[in-house]
Amino acid sequence: MAIQQLSVFVENKPGRLAEITGCLAKCGVSIRAFTIADTIDFGILRLIVSDTPRAAQALREAGVAASITEVLGVSIPDVPGAFAEVVKKLADAGANVEYGYAFLTPEAGHAYVILRVNDIPAAARTLRAQNVTLLDEADILR
């Protein structure tokens, strides 16, 4: 149930993010979700896009360092404590959440959360066994 995420090295300078997102637009790839982690000199742009392999190829052809990683997608109710319950279940099972980000969903009353965990198959089994709704790429791309 892993989802492909595009990770892109971004130099921390004016216009660089516009160039990268423009490249994705030019090749017909839609951005569904993103997050940026930065340092003084560079950032890592993590994206969920409509066509990850095409996006990675277009960026590489443009000279941009891009890689594909797998992440876990979870749908949670939009209520206080829902996210805390999910990460508690993962922690109790020994899973480490390395990073995560949330984004809007077409489902009223729910939020989608992307999590990078140390063992995706084990984390997915844990959450599925506890009736947590996992997402696949089709859920995110609709």
Do 2-69 and 71-141 share a fold?
Answer: yes
CATH topology of domain 2-69: VC0802-like (3.30.2130)
Three-state SS for 111? strand
Is the CATH number of domain 71-141 3.30.2130.10? yes
**pLDDT confidence of 13, banded at 50, 70, 90?**
confident
Identify the helix (H) or strand (E) that includes residue 126: helix 120-129
Q: Which of 81, 47, 79 is nearest to 64 (CA)?
A: 47
Residues 25-53 have a mean pLDDT of 93
User: Do the Cβ atoms of 24 and 55 come closer than 8 Å?
Assistant: yes
pLDDT above 90 (res 51): yes
Average pLDDT for residues 46-68, to the nearest whole number?
97
- Cβ(55)–Cβ(49) under 8 Å? yes
Q: What angle do CA 131, 114, 9 make, to 5 degrees?
A: 160
Dump pLDDT digits (tens) for 75-112.
999 899 999 999 999 999 999 999 999 987 777 788 89
Q: Which residue ranges make up each domain of the chain?
A: 2-69, 71-141
